């Protein structure tokens, strides 16, 4: 998938919503518990009900691993189901891996060959060896943790370097751009850090940002868009719990769709309002093409 | 498992060897390919043949994930087999995870409840949220990436902080000691970085170090011991490929045992030589007890 493919989907759906499939076995509605694979069944129904409002899905590997090999099978089935039925969706493995070169190759094989993910989140602590092996796959993406949404992101990410006075997350943004193009690399930037988005955009104006942290974690969508949007939108904003667990009953998928639609409508308002401000003539032209 | 349990095993076996189960499906001897679970069968025979020379085993999750849910099942079987048959061995999941709090809980469940690992390697980029949820499990360990063995460890780990002039890996060592005791936390320090072990030991004298990078990666065992050993040994030195793939034939387990024994004998020499230098009277007393 290319940068432009993702942008076209955003324009077509008037949405930059990513739905995080943090599917916890103990939060699945009771009536699904007797199906063969409750986690997959839950995911399938969520995706079927919400796909018109979202451009990306992001299963979080931890939730699947907590169920053992059965959980890993649910992850495989989920990823295959999404890519077979909705190939236009951008499918992210929220795995936050990061290792030496020969191990990174194995992770790339796991997520890009054995499973059909378009992208994987990676931690930069071990440097480029953790990133480059994934970039050998054409059309695949890595999403590097830069400034994350959690409270203890301050422990390391905002340490300032001696000479340059740059924050660690700035170094991440700069290295990332040396390692790959904006057709290969995105960065994670937490919605709870929206006040730093101006700085992030100054350093990496053309790259997509994957933005977790709205909803349960307290980030604000309008603030994220205000400071983080670029002329090709450049944002994938994630919601997980607020969508997945909108209802505990048999209507869970319908309620999830309502929550997703609410977010999509907010995003549409933002996109239409900010088109003038952020979008280049080129992108407006693309938008008109799509409407025809 | 406690700090002292591990030390006692080291003294008993005169070894601080950790064997990395980086089991690549395409490197498994042909005669195992027709077994029900070749990866598990390979691991089982390796562990059965080498366990008297090693104190720890370290499956690397990437290699299992590359085979999908079948691979994850091999990881489960391997971890259970080791803890059931050799409960004295220290079992490390080399997973290098690192996420926000509620996700970290899920990873802890995966490795400490669903599977019987004693320890997991973790990346500190997202700060304490990635570490603390694992420490709620009594007797379990986290092993935090500090200064890794790979070339691009320099990208972030040796960045110096503005005020303190400390390297990032020094911050990791200092934070880690605030987060947990030396009965809960170890650090990864690559054998290729042996010249920095004096500094590491100055900062964290009492903590165990997990040391990858001897063998294929070029690190030197004697150098590691010279600068890294403390009075309770404080080292788990890992070898993977040199042991696992010592032979491609039906004698692979026997050849692996020979390689492991070679390393164990080197370690015995080092332990006996350095007892005088590093070991306290208390540890010498323990050693005599074991011999009786």
Instruction: List pLDDT tens digits, range B87-117.
Output: 999 999 999 999 999 999 999 999 999 999 9
Name every chain B residue with its beta carbon within 8 A of the beta carbon of A153. Answer: 126-127
b or e along A178-204 (b: 16 or more beta carbons within 10 Å of the residue's beta carbon)?
ebbebbbbbbbbbbbbbebbebbbebb
ipTM of the complex: 0.94
Res A195: pLDDT: 83
Res A218: pLDDT: 81
In the residue annotation, A96 being an active-site residue is answered as yes
Name every chain A residue with its beta carbon within 8 A of the beta carbon of B152. Answer: 126-130
Q: How high does pLDDT run on average in chain A? A: 94
Contacts of B189 (CB under 8 A, 6+ apart): B146, B147, B196, B197, B200, B209, B210, B211, B228
Q: Write out residues 227-266 of A within 8 Å (CB-CB) of B.
A: none
d(CA A26, CA A23): 9
Res A282: pLDDT: 47
Instruction: List pLDDT tens digits, range B22-43.
Output: 999 999 999 999 999 999 999 9
Per the CB < 8 Å rule, is B67 touching A114?
yes
Instruction: List pLDDT tens digits, range A268-290.
Output: 999 999 866 765 544 555 555 55
Name every chain B residue with its beta carbon within 8 A of the beta carbon of A127. Answer: 150-157
Res B192: pLDDT: 87
Instruction: List pLDDT tens digits, range A106-150.
Output: 999 999 999 999 999 999 999 999 999 999 999 999 999 999 999
H or E segment at A281?
A: helix A281-291
Per the CB < 8 Å rule, is B62 touching A130?
no
Which of A29, A106, A38, A46 has its CA nearest to residue A73? A38
Tokens of A28: 């699945």
d(CA B141, CA B176): 12
Residue with tokens 């952020």: A278
For chain A, say whether B218 makes contact (Cβ under 8 Å). no
Res A247: pLDDT: 97
- Confirm if B290 and B274 have CB atoms less than 8 A apart: no
Q: Write out residues 12-51 of B within 8 Å (CB-CB) of A.
A: 22, 24
Give the residue ranges of chain A where pLDDT is below 50: 281-282, 291-292
In the A/B pair of chains, how many CB contacts fall below 8 A? 200
Name every chain A residue with its beta carbon within 8 A of the beta carbon of B67. Answer: 114
Give the residue ranges of chain B where pLDDT is below 70: 275-276, 278-292
**Pairing, β A185-189 against β B141-147:** unpaired
For chain B, say whether A164 makes contact (Cβ under 8 Å). no
Q: Quick one: DSSP state of residue B164?
A: T
Per the CB < 8 Å rule, is A126 touching B148?
yes
- CATH fold of B3-291 reads TIM Barrel (3.20.20)
pTM score of the predicted model: 0.95
């Amino acid at each position: 998938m290319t940068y432009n493919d993702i942008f076209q989907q955003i324009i077509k759906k008037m949405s930059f919503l990513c739905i995080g499939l943090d599917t916890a076995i103990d939060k699945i509605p009771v009536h699904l518990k007797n199906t063969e694979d409750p986690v997959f069944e839950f995911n399938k129904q969520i995706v079927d009900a919400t796909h018109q409002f979202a451009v990306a899905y992001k299963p979080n590997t931890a939730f699947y691993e907590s169920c053992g090999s059965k959980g890993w099978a649910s992850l495989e089935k989920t990823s295959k189901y999404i890519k077979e039925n909705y190939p236009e969706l951008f499918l992210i493995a929220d795995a936050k891996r990061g290792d030496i070169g020969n191990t990174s190759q194995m992770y790339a094989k796991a997520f890009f060959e054995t499973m059909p993910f378009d992208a994987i989140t990676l931690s930069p602590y071990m440097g480029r060896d953790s990133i480059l092996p994934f970039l050998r796959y054409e059309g695949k993406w890595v999403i590097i943790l830069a400034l994350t949404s959690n409270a203890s992101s301050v422990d390391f990410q905002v340490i300032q370097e001696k000479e340059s006075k740059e924050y660690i997350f700035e170094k991440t943004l700069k290295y990332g751009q040396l390692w790959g193009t904006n057709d290969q690399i995105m960065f994670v930037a937490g919605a709870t850090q929206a006040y730093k988005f101006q700085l992030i955009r100054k350093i990496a104006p053309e790259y997509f940002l994957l933005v977790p942290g709205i909803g349960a974690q307290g980030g604000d969508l309008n603030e994220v868009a205000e400071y983080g949007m670029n002329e090709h939108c450049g944002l994938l904003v994630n919601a997980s719990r607020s969508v997945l667990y909108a209802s505990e009953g048999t209507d869970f998928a319908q309620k999830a769709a309502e929550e997703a639609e609410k977010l999509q409508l907010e995003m549409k308002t933002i996109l239409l309002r900010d088109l003038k401000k952020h979008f280049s003539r080129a992108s407006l032209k693309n938008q008109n093409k799509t409407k025809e």
